[in-house]
Chains A and B, each alone.
Chain A
């Protein structure tokens, strides 16, 4: 065996540009310090309990050492009864405190873990909408699942166990010093081997294990996709390719397993050598000392047994140390979210009136690439505006700007003369709401799913909102009514029903201006139109900006804006545009037959 190089392909390497920040070392340190401060009492208690447990564990070797000394001296009085009594007492204390150590360690770990995951979600929920739109939720999602999982092990086991292990080693060494100082010095003979071996190992291990677990996750992910895409796989005859892909993933994963196995193949002999050297040097050095009458046999016996006890805590420390290293990376990703400043906005800014205006607005997601150029639009209160145009023309972007999610690069978007992007997100949404194609149904009751729009609403209001979106029919047919559990794991709602729920939330929130981005695209065509009509009755008097890919929505609007290539190319009512005989008119004719 000459060694194994790390595989060339690293499944843990990022595949897409990370958009959310990763915490700097200083941020992570500050957070860890804060965590320690918050749980200082529990930490001190754990160490105290652990001290008692370890000290009492040394009673056995110590008492046996005394007995051995007296027996080998041929002493008349052994005090055997007393010694055994002390032995039993020490054992009882040890058993009780070992239990306490384990329990306190878990309690501390769990509390820290709970703090961490709750902190993270609180932070995530406070992120500015613009950051979310830009970054997407994928990165955030992987942080709250994968990274929290990795940290769970570290917090639950590694941190408390490491604390225990370190205290344990220190106390055992202390016990050795008390028994016979030269024996403690003998133990140090093993230290160089251990240090050199561990430095080599821990330099390579964390990234190795990260790649290994990413590789294993990729094996499961490939299979999950094959299963999820079963119909597509069969229709396109992709079966053989999927098998080949799974096998490639297995090869990549096992290559990393082989690498980490090699790392351990170096570490294990080092650890074993350490243990044997510790025990051997205590016995040999101690033996020579006894032969020269510098220490007695009892001290030697006690020393040898304590040296044997060192095996457990040393293993404990080595076992959990790399887990903590891996956890650091995850912690940095979680803490990174704290580096994003929540948008405070200008609290003094309040709209005066309901007119929405865009003045010479320019906007682009990337430097130098404008999605919108010089767009101006005035929407009078109570008007229904439809934005139509080809994909990628900038309709959705304009909708998000009108809802205050992004700030324009140049120009102004105002609501009642107040600039939307400078207002706090909470204020904006009390005036303007956006419903997009993302129709998320939360895990929970149907009631909670609607209630989030206005927490103090009563059931009658919820039913009214459902009625306004034509959803009361199927909702009333549910066995548990509003208490029905929906979302993943609960009753599966159709995409159309999910969209109705999104709209019911909107009805309940009742902002005076609404931006609907393809809000009914998933309903079957006739139902969609029916819904839009009944919604129009409820929303009468509200300003509605609807982004539509179906022309009937445009037909029903007061004003239609055709967005093409980042500009508004046609503006007017349906009749005016048909009269003008431009692109819209051509489409309408073709569409309506």
Chain B
């Protein structure tokens, strides 16, 4: 796999039974790359190790006063130089390619996994974990997978050089062969403690960054009401803690550095001691002594790979474990569905509460408890997180349809719909029936001022559709976000649209216009709105009051507001005092009404019609004036 061919057309099915198995799976899938890296690594390390022989040959040539041999050594060095450069460059290229392909593969797997889990992710703790794997763990996993071949090449080189030295000059070679493994292993016992301290430092640094960004995020609050010093002090403390942790970690690493100087040095001294004796006895030449000395100096380079692989493994093991856990998550419900069906249509009915949303009508649901409303809304879309009897659409149980079919038929916009970052055009480009255009939907959701705000904030103030929306639409106000989300749902134009508090952050003026816009746009389609706003309720064909998971009243807004005290309390936000007063008045009125009931009933229909006409007129006026 070459970098330019990424991403993988299919990242494959990972072996996510455990961390090590996952690492093994990744390595096996890039066997070619691993072998290439191994081959280039061997070329590089072996030719680096050949340099000391050149040094020894050159010194010996000079000692023997041989210009020819000196020139030959020069040629040999040039050859080594070419081999080193080619080996190093291609080792680096293959190693980085291995790292990138492994990292890209894991990122692709994560993307697929999170798209598949969808809403199941936000409900479980896993959400943060997936992100942690993507931002931190992938690098470590890639590092270890890639380092394996480099380490193997380095280890083979060390063995080859040791064997070479023993053959070349047995008396000195043996000292090297015994000493080198000690060098390779000496610092390993210190590494776990060093990495622990480094982890601790990272944790502290993360905490400090969190405090800083938290302070900045709340800066407007601080500047508005005070408390800057309180938070600066807190940050200074955290920042100094990071410093101390970092220095503590540096102590360990500096100790390791010192050992990495000391031990090879001692080995060199032993070689000098023994070598000079041998040279005096004439058993070795001066050139050979210099070669062995120089070889030990150079060998510290491949030896570093022993530490690297140990660290890479200790870092990547928990990362791989976390990645494996995330990749092995499955949805609780069967997304495939147990029956094949085209998207059904008809009345939407929830057997658990008795809620009925007739086909093609606008139904408003009032529910005193916002959490219960959220659960009910989720259930209306089918495949909910909590088990229970399925909602029926046109008589078909939604839970038994394939997930995609259910989502196509019913779109549930929850209380906190997320705006995905990108241009406005991208945001509104969702799978849709095609029946509703972006302009129409934006107009119905009263997004005019949002478009203006977006155009203002963009780089070139051109088409607002090209304006960028930041992550979660944070640059917009709550009301603006809600209206864009509503526009997006309207564009989708599903058979059944369920909206949970779609205008809770929108002002009454705008809300009234949105109510009218949605009603017009959804004419003939089934729409369910969870709301307690009279401005929306007043425009619904049918209002259903749900209390303690049961339908307790059905009617129009005006009927219910006059006949149902609980309903009235919820939608008009009466306080308890007002409710009490009202009840007394109602009792009084009821007594009066009893006597004149028949007259009023005869009058009501006519009155209501006129009043509605009046009201519509007033709203058109407001619209014109704005």
Q: Which residues of A contact B279 (CB under 8 A)?
A: 71
A232 touches B417 (CB 8 A): yes
**Binary interface profile of B, 313-337, with partner A (CB < 8 Å = 1, else 0)?**
0000000000000000000000000
**A4 to B, closest residue via Cβ:** B4
- A129-B220, A550-B573 known; A258+B471 contact, CB < 8 A: no
CB of A145 within 8 Å of the partner chain: yes
- A237-B408, A257-B100, A551-B508 known; A509+B253 contact, CB < 8 A: no
A283 touches B254 (CB 8 A): no
Q: Which residues of A contact B242 (CB under 8 A)?
A: 110, 114
**A521 to B, closest residue via Cβ:** B505
**Binary interface profile of B, 216-236, with partner A (CB < 8 Å = 1, else 0)?**
111111111111111110111
**10 tightest A-B contacts by CB?**
A452-B227, A392-B449, A234-B118, A106-B250, A549-B507, A276-B81, A246-B111, A440-B218, A102-B254, A586-B618
- Would you give 20 A-B contacts (Cβ < 8 Å), ordered by A? A60-B268, A64-B272, A98-B254, A110-B250, A122-B232, A219-B134, A223-B131, A228-B418, A229-B420, A236-B489, A239-B116, A268-B88, A279-B54, A291-B62, A300-B62, A308-B55, A390-B513, A429-B225, A448-B230, A455-B226
- Interchain nearest-CB distance for B257 vs A (Å): 5
Most interface-central of A148, A237, A429, A436 (chain B CB within 10 A): A237
Partner-binding segment picked from B171-179, B350-358, B476-484, B591-599 = B476-484
Partner-binding segment picked from A203-211, A374-382, A471-479, A524-532 = A524-532
- Interchain nearest-CB distance for B510 vs A (Å): 5
Most interface-central of A100, A284, A403 (chain B CB within 10 A): A284
CB of B93 within 8 Å of the partner chain: yes
Contact-size category for B: 35 or more
Q: Which residues of B contact A95 (CB under 8 A)?
A: 258-259, 261-262, 265
Q: How far is the CA of A533 from the CA of B578 in the complex (A)?
A: 12
- A91-B269, A106-B246, A448-B230 known; A129+B223 contact, CB < 8 A: yes
A443 touches B210 (CB 8 A): yes
**A105 to B, closest residue via Cβ:** B250
Additional A-B contact list (18), CB under 8 Å, known A124-B216, A286-B62, A590-B615: A67-B272, A71-B280, A72-B286, A107-B250, A227-B121, A227-B131, A229-B418, A265-B89, A272-B81, A276-B80, A301-B59, A305-B293, A429-B223, A437-B477, A440-B221, A452-B222, A565-B626, A583-B621
- A64-B290, A102-B253 known; A228+B472 contact, CB < 8 A: yes
B104 touches A225 (CB 8 A): no
Q: How far is the CA of A509 from the CA of B154 in the complex (A)?
A: 67
Q: How far is the CA of A505 from the CA of B226 in the complex (A)?
A: 10
CB of B212 within 8 Å of the partner chain: yes
CB of B130 within 8 Å of the partner chain: yes
Contact-size category for A: 35 or more
CB of A94 within 8 Å of the partner chain: yes
Q: Which residues of B contact A138 (CB under 8 A)?
A: 470, 474-475
- Interchain nearest-CB distance for A405 vs B (Å): 8
Q: Which residues of A contact B418 (CB under 8 A)?
A: 225, 228-229, 231-232
CB of A290 within 8 Å of the partner chain: yes
A223 touches B117 (CB 8 A): no
Q: Which of B532-591 contact A (CB under 8 A)?
A: 532, 534-535, 538, 557-558, 561, 569-575
- A140-B219, A144-B216 known; A283+B509 contact, CB < 8 A: no
Partner-binding segment picked from B13-21, B25-33, B65-73 = B65-73
Q: Which residues of A contact B218 (CB under 8 A)?
A: 440-442
Q: Which residues of B contact A437 (CB under 8 A)?
A: 477-478, 505
Q: How far is the CA of A245 from the CA of B574 in the complex (A)?
A: 48
Q: How far is the CA of A592 from the CA of B582 in the complex (A)?
A: 14
Q: How far is the CA of A219 from the CA of B110 in the complex (A)?
A: 11
Q: Which of A13-56 contact B (CB under 8 A)?
A: 14-17
- Interchain nearest-CB distance for A404 vs B (Å): 10
Partner-binding segment picked from A165-173, A174-182, A247-255, A355-363 = A247-255
Q: Which residues of B contact A227 (CB under 8 A)?
A: 114, 121-122, 127, 130-131
CB of A319 within 8 Å of the partner chain: no
Q: Which residues of B contact A251 (CB under 8 A)?
A: 6-7
Out of B134, B236, B446, name the residue touching A223 (CB < 8 Å): B134
- A224-B134, A225-B420 known; A254+B6 contact, CB < 8 A: yes
Q: Which residues of B contact A569 (CB under 8 A)?
A: 625
- Interchain nearest-CB distance for A39 vs B (Å): 13
A529 touches B573 (CB 8 A): yes
A549 touches B236 (CB 8 A): no
Q: Which of B225-284 contact A (CB under 8 A)?
A: 225-232, 234-236, 239-240, 242-243, 246-247, 249-251, 253-255, 257-259, 261-262, 265-266, 268-269, 272-273, 276-277, 279-280
Out of A102, A156, A273, name the residue touching B81 (CB < 8 Å): A273
**Binary interface profile of B, 85-117, with partner A (CB < 8 Å = 1, else 0)?**
110110011001100100010011011101111
- Interchain nearest-CB distance for B73 vs A (Å): 7
CB of B413 within 8 Å of the partner chain: yes
Partner-binding segment picked from B159-167, B180-188, B455-463 = B455-463
A526 touches B272 (CB 8 A): no
Q: Which residues of B contact A589 (CB under 8 A)?
A: 615
**B224 to A, closest residue via Cβ:** A434
Q: How far is the CA of A279 from the CA of B290 in the complex (A)?
A: 14
CB of A336 within 8 Å of the partner chain: no
A223 touches B273 (CB 8 A): no
- Interchain nearest-CB distance for A247 vs B (Å): 4
CB of A136 within 8 Å of the partner chain: yes
CB of B35 within 8 Å of the partner chain: no
A247 touches B217 (CB 8 A): no
- A229-B420, A272-B84, A590-B512 known; A287+B58 contact, CB < 8 A: yes
Q: Which residues of B contact A94 (CB under 8 A)?
A: 261, 265
Out of B220, B472, B511, B626, name the residue touching A564 (CB < 8 Å): B626
B215 touches A526 (CB 8 A): no
Q: How far is the CA of A487 from the CA of B54 in the complex (A)?
A: 65
**A65 to B, closest residue via Cβ:** B290
B258 touches A96 (CB 8 A): yes
CB of B345 within 8 Å of the partner chain: no
B221 touches A438 (CB 8 A): yes
**A530 to B, closest residue via Cβ:** B575
Q: How far is the CA of A305 from the CA of B292 in the complex (A)?
A: 12
Q: Which residues of B contact A339 (CB under 8 A)?
A: none
- Interchain nearest-CB distance for A376 vs B (Å): 20
**B611 to A, closest residue via Cβ:** A589
Q: Which residues of B contact A392 (CB under 8 A)?
A: 448-449, 452-453
- A99-B257, A243-B115, A565-B625 known; A78+B223 contact, CB < 8 A: no
B251 touches A103 (CB 8 A): yes
CB of A431 within 8 Å of the partner chain: no
Q: Which residues of B contact A141 (CB under 8 A)?
A: 213, 216-217
Q: Which residues of A contact B227 (CB under 8 A)?
A: 451-453, 455
**Binary interface profile of A, 385-410, with partner B (CB < 8 Å = 1, else 0)?**
00011111101100000010100000
Out of B130, B250, B573, name the residue touching A102 (CB < 8 Å): B250
Q: Which residues of B contact A537 (CB under 8 A)?
A: none
**B3 to A, closest residue via Cβ:** A258
A230 touches B121 (CB 8 A): yes
CB of A233 within 8 Å of the partner chain: yes
B456 touches A366 (CB 8 A): yes
CB of A577 within 8 Å of the partner chain: no
Q: Which residues of A contact B431 (CB under 8 A)?
A: 236-238
CB of A345 within 8 Å of the partner chain: no
Q: Which residues of A contact B231 (CB under 8 A)?
A: 125, 442, 452
A304 touches B262 (CB 8 A): no
